[in-house]
Structure 1
Amino acid sequence: MAIQIGRSLTVQTFKGFLLTRNWRDTSHGVELEFWFTTGQGPLCAVVRGEHSVFFLVEDELGRAREILAVETTVKIKPVSLRSFSMAPVVGLYFNSYRQARRAADELRARGLDPLEADINPADRFLMERFVAGSAVLRGEPRRRGRHLMLENPVIKATQYRPTLKVVSFDIETAMEGLQLYCIAVHGTSIDGEARQVFMLGEGAQQAFVRSCANQGEVLQAFLDWVADYDPDVLIGWNVVNFDTWYLQRLADQLGRRLLLGRERRPGHWRELDDDGDRRTVQFPGRVVLDGIELLRAAFYRFESFSLENVSRQLLGTGKLLHGSDRGGEITHQFLQDKTSLARYNLKDCELVSEIFATTAILDFAVARSVMTGLNIDRMGASVASFDNLYLPRLHRQGYVAPNASSEQIASPGGFVLDSMPGIYDHVLVLDFKSLYPSIIRTFFIDPLGLALGVCGE
């Protein structure tokens, strides 16, 4: 829908599904960036001049003013909210998220209790508008390269199911060092399928193979193809911790950047464990989804999550090479039979695409995002899901959330009867699934209800 304003400005409305969210501090406040996929193509919504906010009990405000005297950009505003101890609170607004985090840390160090200080501006912006997965955006669009852009649009919640453009990719490498042999891609969209293999050196006979003179050319040809095909989602098998991370290390070695994001932008890596073995990456406007992690999140169980085993179980077919010396055979094919290597590389991509299609696992990821408000590439995160759903509703009731207890008292388990040893003719076993959530929903038990009960309100 379009509404003409004056002679040149046109306000348009778009329905989209959220792919990525980012924020950054600027001299004019916090800038938020949201990438959506829409029926009109990819869309980037930029919201400027936002603030980072947390809350503080009014009784602590005097001490807080002394501590934050150097923070000249903080604004303290009255809000119609209370803490779980029923004390009125005020809002502290900062021009940057880093200032807010620094101030919250300083207040904690002095014994004060800043509330909801861990919510980043992009998440708070969306949750307070009840935007979970899909949204309707209204503003004046303009072209930014190949994509649409909206500056400071109105963003509201809506129901929208996207048709995602997907690319499965896979790399083949030497068993040691950073030696890339080839990269295969298999794209699927409403327009059909696309296949390509970028091979180091000559020799492969297929029309879908593009030969490259060196590793840098292989990497660049792959990045150029992705930018031209412009998928919403990149998928693969262990695709984050192996394929994408391998390409990132190769790009670093070559003195290049791995520009897999939209508008050829680099990604942001984050380690998920202390050993650095598990990582996550976010590329602006483009999501990377790992088939193994998604299947586990959807409660699939296999004796092995290898691509060979899962594809045999789900599809009745498997990889073209398998066995204990697969790595050696890949190197042999690279040196002697690049045609077979290209076929093998592409087959792995197609297997992943077929697994995603057979299990409808991408639909599961979209549905989960719509339910929780989290990005479709975020696994687990039950606490973040609860925050997304609960905090805006809590605020509408006139309260802010408390911080987690430092005592970390474990929740009690269910009551277990002592067994009566013996041999019985008939045994009935009852196993109640999701008993705690069922009790919570049946009796309307929630943190606010507990706080009100404790305070006698």
Structure 2
Amino acid sequence: MKIAVNEQQLIKGRVLTRHAIHRHGQLVLQYFIQTQSGPVTVEVLEQEHVCFIKSSDYSVLASTDAVQGVRSAAIKLTSFSGESVIALYCADGRQLRNLVRTSKDLDVELFEADIKAEHRFLIERFIALDVEFYGQFAEMSGQTSTEPVFIATRARQAETNIHLSAISLDFECSFSGELYSVGLYGQSAEGVVYRKVIMVGTPPELEQGLEHNIESDYIEWVEHELALIERLIAWFAEYDPDIIIGWAVVTFDLALLYRRAKHHGIALTIGRDKLPLSWKVEDKYRPETLSLPGRVVLDGIDWLKAAFYQFDRYSLEHVAQVLLDEGKAIHNVDNRMDEINDLFNNDKLALAHYNITDSRLVWDIFDKTQLFDFVLERAKLTGLELGRVGASVAAFNNLYLPHLHRSGFVAPSRPASDGIESPGGYVMDSVPGLYKHILVLDFKSLYPSIIRTFLIDPKGLVEGLTLAEESTVPGFLGGRFSRNQPILPMLIKKLSEQRELAKSHSNAPLSQAIKIIMNSLYGVLGSRGCVFHDARLASSITMRGHEIMKQTRRWVEAEGYDVIYGDTDSTFVWLGNEFDANLIEQTGRYLADKINQLWQQKLAQEFALTSYLELEFETHFEHFFMPTLRGSVEGSKKRYVGIKSDTGGEPKLIFKGMEQVRSDWSPLARRVQYELYQRLFNQQDVVAYLKEVTEQLSRGELDDELVFTKSLRRNLEDYTAKSAPHLKAARRLWQVTGDEQYTKRGSRIEYVMTVNGAEPLGHCLGAIDYEYYLSRQLEPIAEPVLTILKTTFIEITSAQMSLI
């Protein structure tokens, strides 16, 4: 497709990946986008890296060789200290690196030197995910692709709803890493299923497939590992997915594929335009170091965490069982390497079924949790590269910088505070005890609401400090904020409105993405990793939060109710054990409305501000227990147990900060703790139950519930502290079996505590240490309940302990 030189075209699409490349002494910005008619490579020619320097410092830098070939220009922007700045433009990345190095040696500030050119081009134009490029197609010499490149002359933000194709990828391999097969699973926008397994080997006899009742039409057979890699490269060109998903897909699957391709001496050209997969840092196989032009890679584990899903373990087996009520298609999940090796040698059809099932499970998890939509919405909101996890500081910069520049400022080069920390969220001293009818009143997005209400803003702080106190909004630690067009409150307002709209349209992924972004804004300002960090900003948020929580408590108590606890944005109100249950919701709504009105009045009178603080009646605990600190009469913090009705009206136990929600407790401890509180709240005999459990334990009847399970988060040799029980068990397991898989990251270790300490399940030399389970597992969870009952664990179990 060729376009006349003078003909301008418009293409609209979604930005998949961004790159800055240097060609013939020029900086070229390269964007791979997906359009309605297919993928397009877009290039913006003759671009420059940009940074800024104070006008007063430029002469110092200009006396060095670092400015050779660097273009400079005076611009109408100032630093936060009010000094004019000069823009420095570098056509070459080496020039920029030399500028940064020289300025550091001279102790001269450069501003925004860390903003990458391929990102700056987009964010300065408020482009996040969807874009319109204006320009023309052209044949480019030296391109690996036969398709023309779109040469863009300008760009602007757009709105599209272009479908992005995806594939779930999963490798099976030997213990040494030699590839056996790759599973590829996907679904079209219309729901048409795609399945393929590329398998090393030859097709089995027809009778074998019939015997196993396993389809084989989705299996493609290749002679050896090299042929598998070459076929996969060709497959990527044929199927051409925009997105690759998987489980540890970067750190395991793609890292393994890269190493095996390197072993065979072939380029792994699975990117668009036949470009290779590569790593920005050799031997550092992390999502942030991966480069795969034109394709987005999403790891299921990372994105579940980014969307705030929480699981005891993040193995595919565990998450699939929890979310899908389905697991891997293999008999022995914990020792699957042995079974995979056996299947490869003796039953490749079963291995293919296992491989494609893993790929499908990952897809189904993404579908069930709406992760695809969440990823897209987050990219639209933040301007981060599609698929980039975390990066709260970068997201803040993307949102804030274009507005800051239009307000006449460049970003600071470093945080204003170093070592001056703002206090954390407000946590009230609790009143321990056993209660009925506890209301929880929550401030909706408290910190974002404080930012919006009190006009807390980096630019506003800079301007406010130059204005008369009476014309500003007071903060803390000497901070004052201008009332004139603050940026951050405006962004909060826009996000809040978008979230309400998302809720009204039942768009859960967008609502969740906005909530996470809004709540991260305080964290960014409180982090010294952010150049906008200033203790006056962070403290004006958290200390104002303390003030709000204390005043709210006073207003609730003025209504005649007791506040037994408060934590960051939640106030726990005791209505009284004999309170009429029919009036619970009415009372909760009344208190929230009343306090919201009082805040509106107070802020209008004292500060001439509109209050965006919004207290909500969050929940009602029918029964509630606030424990004491262990060995003390003082109330605990961030720890409680309550029972409330779920959406179906069924009572549900809620544990906060207690052992029930921790993964390093035995199944016995979890079960007993759950039963203890059920009995406590239902006025059943707790003491008799504990006696029965301890007797069963001493007789060896509960041994199956004493097994601890913990995964290695890194390779065994990489741990600095070696004394943790699961590490000791892993070392023992390796010594006994000779199997190195037990020393590798992700390995699941099962062990019990014996008189010899932690020993791996099935390889114990010592007897089970029942006293350990009594004193270190059951006693800590029983003591808070027994304190209420005026007895102790020792008194109840002394007879059983003497038998052990």
Same fold per superposition (TM over 0.5): yes
2: distance between equivalents of 1:15 and 1:36? Answer: 9
Decide whether aligned partners of structure 1 residues 279 and 132 sit closer, same or farther in structure 2, where only a CA change above 3 A counts: closer
1: distance between equivalents of 2:306 and 2:323? Answer: 17
The aligned runs of 1:63-212 (5 Å cut-off) are: 63-67=60-64, 69-142=65-138, 145=145, 147=147, 149-175=149-175, 177-190=176-189, 192-204=192-204, 206-212=216-222
Letter of the 1:378 counterpart: R
1: distance between equivalents of 2:419 and 2:45? Answer: 38
The aligned runs of 1:382-401 (5 Å cut-off) are: 382-401=392-411
Q: Which secondary structure state, in structure 2, belongs to the residue aligned with residue 263 of structure 1?
A: helix
Once the two structures are superposed, residues 198-229 of structure 1 have per-residue CA deviations (whole angstroms, 9 ceiling, x without a partner) of 11111355122121111100111111111111
Aligned match of 2:455: 444
Decide whether aligned partners of structure 1 residues 394 and 8 sit closer, same or farther in structure 2, where only a CA change above 3 A counts: closer
2: distance between equivalents of 1:134 and 1:354? Answer: 26
Aligned match of 2:226: 216
Contact kept, 8 Å, 2:174 with 2:180, in 1: the verdict is yes
2:422 aligned with 1:411: yes
Aligned match of 2:779: none
1: distance between equivalents of 2:90 and 2:250? Answer: 35
Aligned match of 2:789: none
Shift of 1:434: 3.8
Decide whether aligned partners of structure 1 residues 64 and 300 sit closer, same or farther in structure 2, where only a CA change above 3 A counts: same
2: distance between equivalents of 1:408 and 1:252? Answer: 46
Aligned match of 1:248: 258
Letter of the 1:305 counterpart: Y
2: distance between equivalents of 1:70 and 1:8? Answer: 38
2:22 aligned with 1:25: yes
Shift of 1:420: 5.3
Q: Which secondary structure state, in structure 1, belongs to the residue aligned with residue 220 of structure 2?
A: strand
Letter of the 1:437 counterpart: P
2: distance between equivalents of 1:94 and 1:304? Answer: 48
Contact kept, 8 Å, 1:101 with 1:117, in 2: the verdict is no
Contact kept, 8 Å, 2:243 with 2:296, in 1: the verdict is yes
Structure 1 or 2, whichever has the larger Rg, is 2
Contact kept, 8 Å, 2:271 with 2:277, in 1: the verdict is yes
Contact kept, 8 Å, 2:66 with 2:102, in 1: the verdict is no
2: distance between equivalents of 1:422 and 1:234? Answer: 52
2: distance between equivalents of 1:181 and 1:36? Answer: 33
Letter of the 2:372 counterpart: L
Shift of 1:23: 0.2
Once the two structures are superposed, residues 148-171 of structure 1 have per-residue CA deviations (whole angstroms, 9 ceiling, x without a partner) of 521134211012232011111110
Higher relative contact order (CA 8 A, sep 6+): 1
Letter of the 2:423 counterpart: P
Shift of 1:141: 2.7
Aligned match of 1:369: 379
Contact kept, 8 Å, 1:54 with 1:114, in 2: the verdict is yes
Shift of 1:400: 0.3
Shift of 1:271: 5.9
2: distance between equivalents of 1:285 and 1:333? Answer: 35
Decide whether aligned partners of structure 1 residues 43 and 444 sit closer, same or farther in structure 2, where only a CA change above 3 A counts: farther
Larger relative strand fraction: 1
Decide whether aligned partners of structure 1 residues 234 and 87 sit closer, same or farther in structure 2, where only a CA change above 3 A counts: same
Decide whether aligned partners of structure 1 residues 446 and 182 sit closer, same or farther in structure 2, where only a CA change above 3 A counts: same
Shift of 1:276: 4.7
1: distance between equivalents of 2:151 and 2:315? Answer: 44
Shift of 1:237: 1.0
Aligned match of 1:292: 301
Q: Which secondary structure state, in structure 2, belongs to the residue aligned with residue 170 of structure 1?
A: strand
Q: Which secondary structure state, in structure 1, belongs to the residue aligned with residue 265 of structure 2?
A: coil
Shift of 1:270: 4.4
Question: Which residues of structure 1 form unaligned runs of 5+?
Answer: none
Q: Which secondary structure state, in structure 2, belongs to the residue aligned with residue 73 of structure 1?
A: coil
2: distance between equivalents of 1:39 and 1:253? Answer: 38
- Give the total of aligned pairs: 449
Decide whether aligned partners of structure 1 residues 286 and 313 sit closer, same or farther in structure 2, where only a CA change above 3 A counts: same
Letter of the 2:53 counterpart: L
Aligned match of 2:278: 268
2: distance between equivalents of 1:222 and 1:353? Answer: 19
Letter of the 1:262 counterpart: R
2:378 aligned with 1:378: no
Shift of 1:417: 3.9
Shift of 1:358: 2.1
Shift of 1:279: 4.3
Letter of the 2:112 counterpart: E
Decide whether aligned partners of structure 1 residues 338 and 423 sit closer, same or farther in structure 2, where only a CA change above 3 A counts: closer
Q: Which secondary structure state, in structure 2, belongs to the residue aligned with residue 244 of structure 1?
A: helix
Aligned match of 1:313: 322
Decide whether aligned partners of structure 1 residues 437 and 346 sit closer, same or farther in structure 2, where only a CA change above 3 A counts: same
Q: Which secondary structure state, in structure 2, belongs to the residue aligned with residue 140 of structure 1?
A: strand
2: distance between equivalents of 1:428 and 1:439? Answer: 23
2: distance between equivalents of 1:293 and 1:142? Answer: 39
Percent same amino acid at aligned positions? Answer: 38
Once the two structures are superposed, residues 161-190 of structure 1 have per-residue CA deviations (whole angstroms, 9 ceiling, x without a partner) of 320111111100112x13111111113324
1: distance between equivalents of 2:98 and 2:379? Answer: 31
Shift of 1:421: 6.0
Decide whether aligned partners of structure 1 residues 9 and 347 sit closer, same or farther in structure 2, where only a CA change above 3 A counts: farther
2: distance between equivalents of 1:349 and 1:257? Answer: 25
2: distance between equivalents of 1:331 and 1:423? Answer: 56
Contact kept, 8 Å, 1:137 with 1:156, in 2: the verdict is yes
Shift of 1:428: 4.7
Larger relative helix fraction: 2
Shift of 1:26: 3.3
Letter of the 1:390 counterpart: Y
Contact kept, 8 Å, 1:42 with 1:147, in 2: the verdict is no
Question: Which residues of structure 2 form unaligned runs of 5+?
Answer: 210-215, 468-481, 483-804
Q: Which secondary structure state, in structure 2, belongs to the residue aligned with residue 341 of structure 1?
A: helix
Aligned match of 1:234: 244
Q: Which secondary structure state, in structure 2, belongs to the residue aligned with residue 129 of structure 1?
A: coil
